[in-house]
Amino acid sequence: MPSTAPVPSTIRSLSVLLYSDDIATRDAVRVGVGRRPAKDVEIERWRECATAPAVIEAVEAGGYDVLLLDGEATPVGGMGLCRQLKNEIFDCPPVIVLTGRPQDAWLASWSLADAAVPHPIDPLTLGATIADVARRLVATP
């Protein structure tokens, strides 16, 4: 007789650091992605930063699964900041950069980003990208 017990689902809970100097961009990202970008991925906690020094301090302190950096932020763009973090932070979390346009994907590659999503922000694309990056994370004990 088949079991009627529900199959335990594995939901990956994420802590996401979001960097942009523009509060409207940060709001669009949070609202667009929501708490559940995919059935198996949940955003447990958002941390918003408006300056590069705040991002560096937060990442050095640890506790983030994914970093989401706005490549169009000023005065420090997310792509340059991504490259700095990847080169200076041991075991830097995966980084998704928001690029100014699809043609900037090569620049995101230069920045050592794990993924890139172009402006204007498409919530479905961004949510799917966050979910894909989350699924690639190695489970830590």
Where b means 16+ CB within 10 Å and e means fewer, 92-120 reads: bbbbbbbbeeeebbebbeebbbbbbbbbe
pLDDT for the residue 19: 98
Q: What does pTM read for this prediction?
A: 0.89
User: Is residue 75 assigned to a domain?
Assistant: yes
Structurally, the chain folds into a number of domains equal to 1
Range of the domain at 39: 12-135
Asked if the model's pLDDT at residue 139 lies above 50, the reply is no
pLDDT digits (tens, 9 = 90+) for 33-83: 999 999 999 999 999 999 999 999 999 999 999 999 999 999 999 999 999
Q: Is the pLDDT of residue 7 over 70?
A: no
**Does residue 66 lie in a domain region?**
yes
Q: Is residue 42 part of a domain?
A: yes
Q: Which residue has the tokens 């928001």?
A: 98
Q: State the first-to-last Cα distance of the chain, in angstroms, to the nearest integer.
A: 35
Average pLDDT over residues 9-15: 88
pLDDT digits (tens, 9 = 90+) for 105-124: 888 999 999 999 998 999 99
CATH of the domain at 121: 3.40.50.2300
Residue 8: predicted pLDDT = 42
